[in-house]
Amino acid sequence: MKQEIKRGWGKYILFVFVLVVAYHSFTLCKVEGKSMQPTLYEEDYVFVNKAAVHFSNLEHGEIVSIKEEDESKYYVKRVIGLPGDVINITNGSVYVNDKKQEEPYTNKDLFNNTQVFYNFQKTKIPPNKLFVMGDNRELSRDSRNGLGYIEEDNIIGKVEFVYYPFSKMKIIE
């Protein structure tokens, strides 16, 4: 009888432990706005891996969930520049450390070359900061035009996949 009770408590403790780890490692997020189209759409629900930012380094091109300093608003954006990188945008082409970036995830048809932020002067990203942009460059509030550099500590996690709507389920690469 005591063995069964111990086994029952062991399962309960393991279950609680798994819940605590999952709570601190993952979160779910709703995409608001059109700034990440065509990769992510408004009302998409995404799975965010919070543990990934603690156990690995962010890389160019990854999609992340970001909280504002006062935690009043959250964003989903793509990492364009890392600390120490030099960013330049000329005629809509993004350059990181003087290398033109291939950006197949942007919808070039959305751009009409009249956007005020279509060019961005060369700038070096400070330590512990990131430069982020939405994939829909004309409709995105990002590091170019309002968000500024993002503190690495304000990154919630990496967006791993879309889980809803079910018809749009996909892994984010």
Rounded-to-integer distance, Cα 125 and Cα 150, Å: 10
> Is residue 35 annotated as part of the catalytic site, yes or no?
yes
Q: In sequence order, what are the residues at sequence separation of 6 or more whose Cβ sits closer than 8 angstroms to the Cβ of residue 80?
A: 60, 61, 87, 94, 96, 101, 131, 132, 133, 143
Up-side HSE of residue 25: CA atoms within 13 Å toward CB? Answer: 8
Out of 6, 65, 77, 167, the active site residue is: 77
> Is residue 65 annotated as part of the catalytic site, yes or no?
no
3-class secondary structure for 110-145?
Answer: HCCCCCHHHCEEEEECCCCEEEEECCCHHHCCCCCC
* DSSP letter assigned to residue 102: P
Rounded-to-integer distance, Cα 120 and Cα 144, Å: 7
Out of 35, 65, 140, 143, the active site residue is: 35
Active site residues: 35, 77
